[in-house]
C-alpha cells in the first residue's frame, strides 16, 4: 500500500511540473518572437542608416588615430583627437541600440575607406594635413546631410533619437574641419600664392584679380591677400549669385566685411523665398573664386549646409572700405 501511495505522489509531482516547464518554454518562445517581430518592424532605411552610421563612425576614429600619429600641424592632431573621442562615444551608443534590435554592424573599414586610409598612411607633414582635412570636410558634409535626412524621414524612434542627438556634434565637427582646413592651407602658403593652386582657365580669386589688373609684382599681390582694400569691385560682386563646385545656386552675395581674425568674408544670403525667411552667413573670401557672371564657392556645400552655419552677427565684423 505504501508503494502505491509513493507512485501516486511521484505522478502528481510530474503533473505539476509539466505546466511549469511548458510555461518556461512559452515565455522563451514569446521573447524570441518579440525580438523577431521588432526586427521585422525595422524598415530597411533604418537598418541601412545604422550600418552606414557605424561605418562612418569607425572611419572617423581610425583616421583620427592616424592623424594623431602623422600630422604636422598641432591643430590637425587636436582635430584627430576630437574625432576619436566624440565618434568613439557615438559608436558605443549606436552599438547598444543595434544590439537591442538585432542589427549586425560592420566591424571594419569599407573597401573605399581602407583605400583612402592606405593612401593617407603614405603621406606625412603638410601633405598629410591637407589630404586628411580635405577628406574630413567632405566626410562631414555628407554625414550632416545623411543624419538630417534620417531625422526627417527615419521610422525607428531609438535610431532617430540617436541621429537627432548626434547631428549637432556633426555640424560642429564640420565647422571645425573647415576652419582647420583653412589653417592648413594658409600655413602651406595656399593663401599667399593662390595662383599656384588655381589653373589659369579657372575663375580668379578676388586677390588675384587685384594683383593682375593693377600689374602688381608678386610681393604686392601677397600683401593684397591680407589687406584687400579695393581688391574687389563691389558693383560686380554684390548681388551676384554664388554657385558651388557642383554648379548649384546656393546663395547671393550681400556684402563684404572684415572679421576679427583680419580676414575678409563674403556675407551670403541663403534660403527664404522672395526675401522672406532669408538667413545671412559669413564665408571666408579666400574660399571663393570670381567669374565673369557668377561667384564660385570652392567647396561642394549645398544651400542647406550653408543655412546650418552660424548666423551672421554684424557686430563681430568691420564693414568693407568701399571706394
Residues 215 and 104 in one domain: no
Residues 12 and 63 in one domain: no
Distance between CA atoms of 129 and 180, rounded to whole angstroms? 9
Report yes or no on 65 lying in a domain: yes
Domain boundary among 145, 167, 187: 187
Element (H, E) at 55: helix 44-70
Residues 205 and 254 in one domain: yes
Q: Assign residue 51 the CATH number of its domain.
A: 1.20.1260.10
Residues 286 and 302 in one domain: yes
Provide the domain count of the chain: 3
pLDDT top residue among 313 and 262 = 313
What are the grid coordinates assigned to 223, written together?
600683401
pLDDT in tens, 243-254: 877 778 888 888
Q: Assign residue 202 the CATH number of its domain.
A: 2.30.30.240
pLDDT in tens, 283-311: 888 787 765 556 667 666 778 888 888 88
From start to end of 149-259, where are the E strands?
Answer: 241-243, 249-259
Residues 13 and 56 in one domain: no
Residues 231 and 270 in one domain: yes
Whether the per-residue pLDDT at 98 is higher than 80: the answer is: yes
Report yes or no on 300 lying in a domain: yes
Domain boundary among 154, 187, 220: 187
pLDDT in tens, 148-176: 999 999 999 999 999 999 999 999 999 99
Residues 21 and 52 in one domain: no
Report yes or no on 99 lying in a domain: yes
Give the pLDDT score at 69. 93
Half-sphere exposure of 310 (CA within 13 A, CB side): 9
- Kindly report which listed range (82-86, 181-185, 284-288, 297-301) carries the lowest average pLDDT score: 297-301
Residues 54 and 183 in one domain: yes
Residues 69 and 175 in one domain: yes
- Rounded to two decimals, the pTM is 0.51
Report yes or no on 192 lying in a domain: no
Residues 47 and 182 in one domain: yes
Q: Which domain holds residue 53?
A: 42-187
CA-closest candidate to residue 178, choices 139, 128, 232: 139
Report yes or no on 266 lying in a domain: yes
Residues 163 and 236 in one domain: no
Residues 51 and 87 in one domain: yes
Report yes or no on 117 lying in a domain: yes
Give the pLDDT score at 15. 45
Cell 561642394 belongs to residue? 300
Report yes or no on 193 lying in a domain: no
Distance between CA atoms of 173 and 164, rounded to whole angstroms? 15
Amino acid at each position: 500500500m505504501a508503494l502505491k501511495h509513493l507512485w501516486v505522489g511521484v505522478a502528481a509531482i510530474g503533473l505539476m511540473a509539466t505546466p511549469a516547464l511548458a510555461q518556461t518554454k512559452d515565455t522563451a518562445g514569446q521573447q524570441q518572437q518579440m525580438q523577431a517581430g521588432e526586427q521585422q518592424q525595422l524598415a530597411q532605411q533604418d537598418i541601412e542608416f545604422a550600418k552606414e552610421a557605424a561605418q562612418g563612425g569607425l572611419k572617423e576614429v581610425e583616421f583620427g588615430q592616424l592623424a594623431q600619429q602623422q600630422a604636422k600641424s598641432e591643430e590637425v592632431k587636436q582635430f584627430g583627437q576630437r574625432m576619436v573621442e566624440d565618434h568613439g562615444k557615438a559608436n558605443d551608443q549606436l552599438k547598444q541600440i543595434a544590439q537591442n534590435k538585432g542589427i549586425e554592424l560592420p566591424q571594419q573599414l569599407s573597401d573605399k575607406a581602407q583605400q583612402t586610409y592606405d593612401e593617407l598612411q603614405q603621406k606625412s607633414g603638410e601633405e598629410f594635413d591637407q589630404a586628411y582635412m580635405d577628406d574630413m570636410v567632405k566626410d562631414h558634409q555628407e554625414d550632416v546631410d545623411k543624419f538630417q535626412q534620417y531625422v526627417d524621414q527615419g521610422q525607428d524612434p531609438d535610431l532617430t533619437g540617436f541621429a537627432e542627438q548626434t547631428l549637432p556634434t556633426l555640424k560642429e565637427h564640420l565647422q571645425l574641419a573647415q576652419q582647420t582646413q583653412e589653417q592648413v592651407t594658409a600655413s602651406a602658403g595656399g593663401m599667399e600664392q593662390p595662383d599656384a593652386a588655381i589653373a589659369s582657365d579657372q575663375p580668379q580669386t578676388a586677390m588675384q584679380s587685384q594683383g593682375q589688373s593693377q600689374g602688381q609684382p608678386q610681393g604686392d599681390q601677397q600683401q593684397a591677400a591680407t589687406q584687400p582694400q579695393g581688391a574687389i569691385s563691389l558693383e560686380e560682386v554684390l548681388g551676384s549669385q554664388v554657385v558651388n563646385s557642383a554648379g548649384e545656386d546656393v546663395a547671393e552675395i550681400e556684402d563684404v566685411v572684415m572679421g576679427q581674425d583680419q580676414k575678409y568674408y563674403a556675407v551670403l544670403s541663403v534660403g527664404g523665398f522672395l526675401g522672406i525667411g532669408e538667413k545671412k552667413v559669413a564665408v571666408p573670401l579666400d574660399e571663393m573664386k570670381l567669374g565673369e557672371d557668377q561667384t564660385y564657392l570652392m567647396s561642394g556645400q549645398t544651400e542647406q549646409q550653408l543655412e546650418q552655419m552660424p548666423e551672421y552677427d554684424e557686430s563681430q565684423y568691420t564693414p568693407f572700405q568701399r571706394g
